[in-house]
Chains A and B, each alone.
Chain A
Amino acid sequence: DADVTQTPRNRITKTGKRIMLECSQTKGHDRMYWYRQDPGLGLQLIYYSFDVKDINKGEISDGYSVSRQAQAKFSLSLESAIPNQTALYFCATSDSRDRDLTDTQYFGPGTRLTVL
């Protein structure tokens, strides 16, 4: 089984709808991240969480919210989806205690979201 899973893998929705993307991990890592990937722009950080009670905005958090329900679960919500939120969304995890691979991030398989 994959260490980092994301659901759904694909989603098509309409403008104005509320969408939730979910991420679960079995790696035992304390830190979790949400990124979006657009062609030619690389990966941009939306939100990150160091533990259940520590959630921080990334560089492009407007229009998004998150919830860290447990150490292993981190969900991303689009309260009112708009077409320019069409992108690939990735969840990632890292272990702050790993001194050999400082905060190396491990990615899930991604969610392809299309907002019409």
Chain B
Amino acid sequence: QKEVEQDPGPLSVPEGAIVSLNCTYSNSAFQYFMWYRQYSRKGPELLMYTYSSGNKEDGRFTAQVDKSSKYISLFIRDSQPSDSATYLCAMSAPDSSYKLIFGSGTRLLVRP
């Protein structure tokens, strides 16, 4: 079993929809949680960073961490065609914060 599980999709939604992307993990030591967005033929770019539990909001994006369930989510409100990309979750533990464990990525398509 992988340390981080992520549904590969693809997830296809109409423009304006609320999108929910999720990852589950098995290592309770993870404290740092990140979401990266990767456009086709580009490198991953950091979208959201969260430490420990709780919510974090940045514009149309909300990152949520539930450590009791070992479950993290990224919500995108009012989705746009420009949000079409692959979204990768990543996480690490305090004693090895440099060692990011990535999910395999969820491909999102927002239809105009």
Q: Which residues of B contact A109 (CB under 8 A)?
A: 42-43
- A106's nearest neighbour on chain B, judged by CB, is B46
Task: Give the interface segment out of B60-68, B70-78, B99-107.
Answer: B99-107
Interface of A is mostly: strand
Q: How many of A's residues come within 8 Å of B, CB to CB?
A: 24
Q: Which of B42, B88, B92, B102 has the most CB of A within 10 A?
A: B102
CB–CB B34/A104 < 8 A: yes
- Identify the closest chain B residue to A43 (Cβ): B102
Cβ of B104 and Cβ of A42 under 8 Å apart?
yes
Residue of A40, A94, A108 touching B43 (CB-CB under 8 A): A108
- Nearest Cβ in chain A — how far from B101, in angstroms? 9
When C-beta atoms are compared, the residue in chain B nearest to A38 turns out to be: B104
| Complex interface: chain B residues within 8 A of A101 (CB) | 49
B6, B43, B45 interface centre (most CB from chain A within 10 Å): B43
In the assembled complex, the Cα of A112 lies from the Cα of B97 at a distance in Å of 27
Q: Residues of B contacting A45 with CB < 8 Å?
A: 99-100
1/0 contact string of B1-43 vs chain A (CB within 8 Å): 0001010100000000000000000000000101010000111
Interface status of A84 (Cβ within 8 A of chain B): no
Cβ–Cβ < 8 Å partners of B102 in chain A: 42-43
Known A103-B97, A105-B100: A43·B88 in contact at CB below 8 Å = yes
**Residue among A42, A90, A103 making CB contact with B92, cutoff 8 Å:** A103
Tell yes or no: A31 within 8 A of B by CB.
yes
User: Which residues of chain A are within 8 angstroms of B94 by Cβ–Cβ distance?
Assistant: 102
Across the interface, which residues of B come within 8 angstroms of A42, CB to CB? 4, 6, 88, 102-105
Having A40-B104, A94-B98, A102-B51, one finds 7 other A-B pairs with CB under 8 Å, namely A31-B98, A41-B104, A101-B49, A102-B92, A103-B98, A103-B100, A109-B43
Residues on B lying within 8 angstroms of A by beta carbon are: 4, 6, 8, 32, 34, 36, 41-46, 49, 51, 88, 90, 92, 94, 97-100, 102-105
In the assembled complex, 7 residue pairs joining A and B whose CB atoms fall closer than 8 Å, in A order, are A42-B88, A43-B102, A90-B43, A102-B51, A103-B98, A103-B100, A106-B46
Nearest first, the 4 A-B pairs at minimum CB distance are A107-B43, A103-B97, A42-B104, A42-B102
